[in-house]
Amino acid sequence: MTRIDATFARLKAEGRKAFVSYIMGGDPDFDTALAVMQGLPAAGVDVIELGVPFTDPMADGPTIQLAGQRALDGGQTLEKTLDMVRRFRQGDSVTPIVLMGYYNPIYNRGVERFLADAVQAGVDGLIVVDLPPEEDSELCLPAQAAGINFIRLATPTTDDHRLPTVLQNTSGFVYYVSITGITGAAAPQAADVAPEVARIKAATTLPVIVGFGISTPKAAQEIAAIADGCVVGSAIVKLIGEGKPVDQVLAYVAALAEGAHRG
Q: Which residues are part of the catalytic machinery?
A: 49, 60
Question: Structurally, how many domains does the chain consist of?
Answer: 1
**H, E, C per residue of 207-239:** CEEEECCCCCHHHHHHHHHCCCEEEECHHHHHH
Task: To the nearest 10°, report the CA torsion of 210, 212, 217, 223.
Answer: -30
- Looking at residue 261, the DSSP 8-state letter turns out to be H
Map residue 19 onto helix, strand or coil.
strand
Mean pLDDT of all residues in 150-157:
94
For residue range 50-65, list pLDDT tens digits in order.
999 999 988 888 999 9
| Domain harbouring 96, CATH code | 3.20.20.70
Binning pLDDT at 50, 70 and 90, where does residue 232 land? very high
**Residue 189 pLDDT:** 74
- 126: domain range? 3-262
In this structure, which amino acid lies at residue 170? T
For residue range 90-116, list pLDDT tens digits in order.
999 999 999 999 999 999 999 999 999
Q: Are 221 and 263 in contact (CB under 8 A)?
A: yes
User: In the chain, what percentage of residues exceed pLDDT 70?
Assistant: 97
Give the number of other CB atoms < 10 A from CB of residue 55. 11
Going by C-alpha positions, the residue among 161, 136, 142, 188 that lies closest to residue 152 is 136
pTM over 0.75: yes
For residue range 175-227, list pLDDT tens digits in order.
999 876 555 555 667 788 999 999 999 999 999 999 988 999 999 999 999 99
